[in-house]
């Protein structure tokens, strides 16, 4: 067998005073690392907060640097179909075929000066893979990221799907050992910042702990501010 598969579950909880540690959603993911250097992330995401969100994502990307190859997204909001779409990325353009409840059938083609470096399709497991963009050789600090695309500018990924340009900063804080529901891990601690200008509403600073290895598994994450959300890996199976 020339591929390797990792499977897990991420629990979504709240840190708001009125619902501290209350379960507010969950994500089941599979990450397959193929022999040709392609990673395929499958993620089924459920957000219980009204209007509830159910999202299924299939994202393929280059293992070495997380550049997207193609992606499909299907989304329901408030127990109603919201949209589905397929995206493909080349060196010179990105394209998207989608149908959503608000706009109907849409086709997008974005001509690129540089290849897209990341597609944010909103599974939490993908937030850790995004940290591949940070150049660890430069040590702790902040690195601004550009040439990024989102499937939705909404913080919950609850619109579209469509392609939206974005950019933000990634701060590398350092390594530490953390314990989550799935066990104790050596972790790298990052923070996503500087989203003003990229999103309709600025996202509060978002802390992410991923495995301190080449898997970049999401171990723990959380946003403060008005969101007060928390995410934790509670199950893991390494194939």
- As a whole number of angstroms, the distance between CA 236 and CA 10 comes to 9
- As a whole number of angstroms, the distance between CA 176 and CA 174 comes to 7
Residue 33 has pLDDT above 70, yes or no: yes
- Half-sphere exposure (Cβ direction) of 52: Cα atoms closer than 13 Å: 10
Paired with 117 in beta bridges are: none
As a whole number, mean pLDDT of residues 192-200 equals: 71
As a whole number, mean pLDDT of residues 87-95 equals: 97
Q: Categorize the per-residue pLDDT at 239 as very low, low, confident or very high, splitting at 50, 70 and 90.
A: confident
Among residues 203, 164, 201, which one has the least CA distance to residue 73? 164
The fold of 4-238 is: outer membrane lipoprotein receptor (LolB), chain A (2.50.20)
- As a whole number of angstroms, the distance between CA 187 and CA 174 comes to 8
As a whole number, mean pLDDT of residues 163-182 equals: 96
As a whole number, mean pLDDT of residues 105-124 equals: 96
Before 225, cis peptide (omega within 30)?
no
- As a whole number of angstroms, the distance between CA 95 and CA 88 comes to 5
Region of 39 on the Ramachandran plot (φ > 0 left; ψ -120 to 50 alpha; else beta): beta
User: Is 31 within 8 Å of 39 (Cβ atoms)?
Assistant: yes
Residue 15 is predicted with a pLDDT of: 87
Q: Categorize the per-residue pLDDT at 17 as very low, low, confident or very high, splitting at 50, 70 and 90.
A: confident
How many residues does this entry show for the chain?
Answer: 239
Reduced 3-state DSSP string for 133-176:
HCCHHHCCEEEEEEEEEECCCCCCCCCCCCCEEEEEEEEEEEEE
Distance of CA 156 to the CA centre of its chain: 11
10: CB partners within 8 A, 6+ apart? 26, 27, 29, 124, 125, 218, 231, 232, 233, 234
Kindly report the number of other CB atoms within 10 A of residue 236's CB atom.
18
- Half-sphere exposure (Cβ direction) of 172: Cα atoms closer than 13 Å: 21
* Sequence spans of domains, the chain: 4-238
Percent of the chain residues past pLDDT 90, beyond the cut: 85
Q: What is the mean pLDDT of the chain?
A: 94
Residue 197 has pLDDT above 70, yes or no: no
Residue 31 is predicted with a pLDDT of: 98
- As a whole number of angstroms, the distance between CA 4 and CA 147 comes to 29
């Amino acid at each position: 067998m020339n591929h390797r598969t990792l499977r897990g579950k991420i629990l979504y909880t709240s840190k708001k005073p009125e619902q501290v540690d209350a379960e507010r959603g969950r994500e089941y993911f599979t990450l397959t690392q193929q022999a040709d250097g392609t990673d395929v992330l499958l993620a089924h995401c459920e957000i219980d907060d009204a209007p509830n969100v159910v999202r299924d994502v299939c994202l393929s990307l280059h293992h070495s640097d997380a550049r997207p190859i193609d992606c499909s997204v299907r989304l329901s909001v408030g127990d109603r179909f919201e949209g589905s779409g397929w995206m493909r990325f080349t060196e010179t353009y990105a394209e998207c075929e989608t149908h959503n409840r608000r706009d109907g059938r849409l086709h997008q083609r974005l001509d690129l000066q540089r290849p897209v470096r990341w597609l944010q399709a909103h599974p939490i497991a993908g937030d850790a893979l995004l940290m591949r963009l940070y150049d660890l050789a430069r040590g702790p600090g902040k690195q601004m990221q550009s040439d990024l695309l989102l499937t939705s500018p909404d913080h919950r990924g609850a619109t579209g799907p469509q392609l939206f340009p974005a950019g933000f900063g990634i701060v590398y804080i350092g390594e530490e050992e953390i314990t989550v529901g799935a066990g104790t891990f050596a972790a790298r601690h990052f923070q996503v910042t500087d989203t003003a200008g990229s999103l309709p509403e600025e996202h509060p600073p978002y802390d992410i702990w991923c495995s301190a290895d080449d898997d970049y598994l999401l171990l723990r994450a959380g946003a403060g501010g008005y969101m007060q959300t928390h995410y934790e890996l509670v199950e893991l199976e390494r194939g």
